[in-house]
Structure 1
Protein backbone atom coordinates (compact mmCIF):
# COMPACT_ATOMS: atom_id res chain seq x y z
CA UNK A 1 0.00 0.00 0.00
CA UNK A 2 0.96 3.61 -0.49
CA UNK A 3 0.83 4.89 3.10
CA UNK A 4 0.95 8.51 4.19
CA UNK A 5 2.99 9.15 7.33
CA UNK A 6 1.37 12.09 9.14
CA UNK A 7 2.93 13.76 12.14
CA UNK A 8 3.95 17.16 13.45
CA UNK A 9 6.54 19.13 11.51
CA UNK A 10 6.18 22.76 12.61
CA UNK A 11 8.25 23.76 15.61
CA UNK A 12 9.95 26.89 16.97
CA UNK A 13 13.46 25.95 15.83
CA UNK A 14 15.04 24.34 12.78
CA UNK A 15 16.49 21.65 15.05
CA UNK A 16 13.02 20.79 16.38
CA UNK A 17 11.59 20.68 12.84
CA UNK A 18 14.45 18.39 11.77
CA UNK A 19 13.77 16.11 14.75
CA UNK A 20 10.06 15.98 13.89
CA UNK A 21 10.83 15.11 10.29
CA UNK A 22 13.32 12.46 11.40
CA UNK A 23 10.59 10.77 13.47
CA UNK A 24 8.35 10.65 10.40
CA UNK A 25 11.22 9.38 8.25
CA UNK A 26 11.95 6.60 10.74
CA UNK A 27 8.29 5.55 10.70
CA UNK A 28 8.40 5.61 6.89
CA UNK A 29 11.49 3.41 6.90
CA UNK A 30 9.73 0.92 9.18
CA UNK A 31 6.76 0.85 6.80
CA UNK A 32 9.09 0.19 3.87
CA UNK A 33 10.66 -2.71 5.75
CA UNK A 34 7.13 -4.09 6.22
CA UNK A 35 6.67 -4.01 2.44
CA UNK A 36 4.74 -0.76 1.98
CA UNK A 37 5.47 2.39 0.00
CA UNK A 38 5.57 5.27 2.51
CA UNK A 39 5.22 8.92 1.63
CA UNK A 40 5.45 12.06 3.76
CA UNK A 41 3.76 15.20 2.49
CA UNK A 42 6.42 17.43 4.04
CA UNK A 43 9.15 15.57 2.14
CA UNK A 44 7.32 16.27 -1.11
CA UNK A 45 6.50 19.90 -0.32
CA UNK A 46 9.71 21.22 1.26
CA UNK A 47 11.97 21.03 -1.82
CA UNK A 48 9.31 22.82 -3.88
CA UNK A 49 8.88 25.53 -1.26
CA UNK A 50 12.64 25.98 -0.91
CA UNK A 51 13.12 26.23 -4.68
CA UNK A 52 10.35 28.84 -4.82
CA UNK A 53 11.93 30.81 -1.96
CA UNK A 54 8.93 30.17 0.29
CA UNK A 55 8.87 29.41 4.01
CA UNK A 56 7.46 26.14 5.35
CA UNK A 57 4.52 28.13 6.76
CA UNK A 58 3.32 29.03 3.27
CA UNK A 59 -0.12 27.57 2.40
CA UNK A 60 1.45 25.63 -0.47
CA UNK A 61 2.95 23.27 2.14
CA UNK A 62 -0.47 22.04 3.22
CA UNK A 63 -1.87 22.11 -0.31
CA UNK A 64 0.87 19.77 -1.54
CA UNK A 65 0.57 17.55 1.53
CA UNK A 66 -3.17 17.19 1.00
CA UNK A 67 -2.69 16.46 -2.70
CA UNK A 68 -0.33 13.64 -1.74
CA UNK A 69 -2.82 12.44 0.87
CA UNK A 70 -5.51 12.08 -1.82
CA UNK A 71 -3.42 9.43 -3.57
CA UNK A 72 -2.63 7.29 -0.54
CA UNK A 73 -4.29 3.99 0.31
CA UNK A 74 -3.94 4.48 4.07
CA UNK A 75 -2.28 6.60 6.72
CA UNK A 76 -0.07 6.18 9.76
CA UNK A 77 -0.39 9.00 12.29
CA UNK A 78 2.81 9.34 14.29
CA UNK A 79 1.63 12.35 16.26
CA UNK A 80 -0.89 15.15 16.27
CA UNK A 81 -0.65 18.62 14.84
CA UNK A 82 -3.07 20.80 12.90
CA UNK A 83 -1.53 19.71 9.59
CA UNK A 84 -1.29 16.01 10.45
CA UNK A 85 -4.86 16.11 11.72
CA UNK A 86 -6.01 17.61 8.39
CA UNK A 87 -4.23 14.88 6.44
CA UNK A 88 -5.75 12.15 8.61
CA UNK A 89 -9.22 13.75 8.42
CA UNK A 90 -8.98 13.70 4.63
CA UNK A 91 -8.09 10.01 4.63
CA UNK A 92 -11.08 9.31 6.90
CA UNK A 93 -13.33 11.31 4.54
CA UNK A 94 -12.09 9.15 1.68
CA UNK A 95 -12.85 5.99 3.68
CA UNK A 96 -9.23 4.92 3.83
CA UNK A 97 -7.77 3.15 6.86
CA UNK A 98 -5.80 5.13 9.41
CA UNK A 99 -3.37 3.43 11.78
CA UNK A 100 -2.13 4.97 15.01
CA UNK A 101 0.58 2.39 15.71
CA UNK A 102 3.08 0.85 13.34
CA UNK A 103 2.35 -2.63 14.64
CA UNK A 104 -1.29 -2.25 13.54
CA UNK A 105 -0.32 -1.80 9.88
CA UNK A 106 -0.68 -5.13 8.12
CA UNK A 107 2.45 -6.53 6.55
CA UNK A 108 2.62 -6.42 2.75
CA UNK A 109 4.27 -8.59 0.18
CA UNK A 110 6.83 -5.85 -0.53
CA UNK A 111 8.93 -5.11 -3.54
Structure 2
Protein backbone atom coordinates (compact mmCIF):
# COMPACT_ATOMS: atom_id res chain seq x y z
CA UNK A 1 0.00 0.00 0.00
CA UNK A 2 1.04 3.59 -0.61
CA UNK A 3 0.74 5.25 2.82
CA UNK A 4 0.74 9.03 3.29
CA UNK A 5 2.47 10.08 6.50
CA UNK A 6 0.79 13.27 7.73
CA UNK A 7 1.56 15.51 10.68
CA UNK A 8 3.11 18.82 11.66
CA UNK A 9 5.56 20.27 9.16
CA UNK A 10 5.09 24.03 9.12
CA UNK A 11 2.58 24.41 11.98
CA UNK A 12 4.04 25.83 15.16
CA UNK A 13 7.41 26.65 13.61
CA UNK A 14 6.95 30.34 12.85
CA UNK A 15 8.37 29.31 9.47
CA UNK A 16 11.76 28.67 11.09
CA UNK A 17 13.63 26.41 8.62
CA UNK A 18 15.45 24.55 11.41
CA UNK A 19 12.15 23.66 13.13
CA UNK A 20 10.60 22.68 9.79
CA UNK A 21 13.56 20.37 9.11
CA UNK A 22 13.09 18.81 12.56
CA UNK A 23 9.39 18.27 11.79
CA UNK A 24 10.25 16.64 8.47
CA UNK A 25 12.58 14.25 10.31
CA UNK A 26 9.68 13.36 12.65
CA UNK A 27 7.48 12.70 9.63
CA UNK A 28 10.18 10.49 8.13
CA UNK A 29 10.75 8.50 11.35
CA UNK A 30 8.06 5.83 10.70
CA UNK A 31 8.90 5.48 7.00
CA UNK A 32 11.30 2.56 7.40
CA UNK A 33 8.86 0.58 9.55
CA UNK A 34 6.17 1.09 6.91
CA UNK A 35 8.60 0.00 4.21
CA UNK A 36 9.63 -3.10 6.18
CA UNK A 37 5.93 -3.96 6.54
CA UNK A 38 5.65 -4.04 2.75
CA UNK A 39 4.26 -0.55 2.16
CA UNK A 40 5.57 2.48 0.29
CA UNK A 41 5.70 5.50 2.60
CA UNK A 42 4.93 8.92 1.15
CA UNK A 43 5.27 12.40 2.63
CA UNK A 44 3.78 15.37 0.81
CA UNK A 45 6.87 17.50 1.39
CA UNK A 46 9.00 14.94 -0.45
CA UNK A 47 7.05 15.90 -3.56
CA UNK A 48 6.14 19.52 -2.85
CA UNK A 49 9.59 20.80 -1.89
CA UNK A 50 11.36 20.00 -5.19
CA UNK A 51 8.34 21.24 -7.19
CA UNK A 52 8.36 24.48 -5.21
CA UNK A 53 12.12 24.93 -5.68
CA UNK A 54 11.86 24.21 -9.42
CA UNK A 55 9.11 26.84 -9.67
CA UNK A 56 11.40 29.42 -8.05
CA UNK A 57 10.03 29.18 -4.51
CA UNK A 58 11.99 31.15 -1.95
CA UNK A 59 9.71 32.27 0.88
CA UNK A 60 7.70 29.81 2.95
CA UNK A 61 4.07 30.84 3.00
CA UNK A 62 4.16 32.98 -0.14
CA UNK A 63 1.57 32.55 -2.90
CA UNK A 64 3.70 30.00 -4.76
CA UNK A 65 4.14 27.96 -1.58
CA UNK A 66 0.38 27.93 -1.01
CA UNK A 67 -0.23 27.06 -4.67
CA UNK A 68 1.97 23.96 -4.43
CA UNK A 69 2.05 22.49 -0.91
CA UNK A 70 -1.60 21.86 -0.01
CA UNK A 71 -2.64 20.83 -3.53
CA UNK A 72 0.25 18.34 -3.61
CA UNK A 73 -1.04 16.67 -0.45
CA UNK A 74 -4.56 16.52 -1.84
CA UNK A 75 -3.35 14.96 -5.10
CA UNK A 76 -1.32 12.40 -3.18
CA UNK A 77 -4.37 11.50 -1.10
CA UNK A 78 -6.13 10.45 -4.29
CA UNK A 79 -3.30 7.96 -4.91
CA UNK A 80 -2.64 6.75 -1.36
CA UNK A 81 -4.45 3.79 0.11
CA UNK A 82 -3.95 4.85 3.71
CA UNK A 83 -2.86 7.70 5.96
CA UNK A 84 -0.69 7.55 9.05
CA UNK A 85 -1.56 10.71 11.03
CA UNK A 86 1.20 11.58 13.48
CA UNK A 87 0.42 13.50 16.68
CA UNK A 88 0.61 17.26 16.85
CA UNK A 89 -1.30 20.27 15.64
CA UNK A 90 -1.24 20.56 11.87
CA UNK A 91 -3.70 22.53 9.78
CA UNK A 92 -2.53 20.77 6.62
CA UNK A 93 -2.67 17.25 8.04
CA UNK A 94 -6.08 17.90 9.56
CA UNK A 95 -7.35 19.07 6.17
CA UNK A 96 -5.93 15.94 4.55
Return the TM-score normalized by structure 2. 0.83
- What is the Cα deviation at residue 56 of structure 1? 3.9
- What is the Cα deviation at residue 31 of structure 1? 0.8
Structure 2 unaligned regions, length at least 5:
none
Q: Which residue of 1 aligns with 2:69?
A: 61
Q: Which residue of 1 aligns with 2:50?
A: 47
Structure 1 unaligned regions, length at least 5:
88-111
Distance 2:71 2:25 in 1: 21
Return the TM-score normalized by structure 1. 0.73
Distance 1:56 1:26 in 2: 23
Distance 2:90 2:33 in 1: 21
* CA RMSD, 1 decimal: 1.2
Structure 1 range deviating more: 48-57 or 65-74: 48-57
- Identify the structure with bigger relative contact order (alpha carbons < 8 Å, sequence gap 6+): 2
- Deviating beyond 6 angstroms after TM superposition, the runs of 4 or more aligned structure 1 residues are none
Where in structure 2 are the equivalents of 1:1-111 lying within 5 Å?
1-10=1-10, 11-12=13-14, 13-54=16-57, 55-57=59-61, 58-59=65-66, 60-79=68-87, 80-87=89-96
Distance 2:53 2:45 in 1: 12
Aligned length: 87
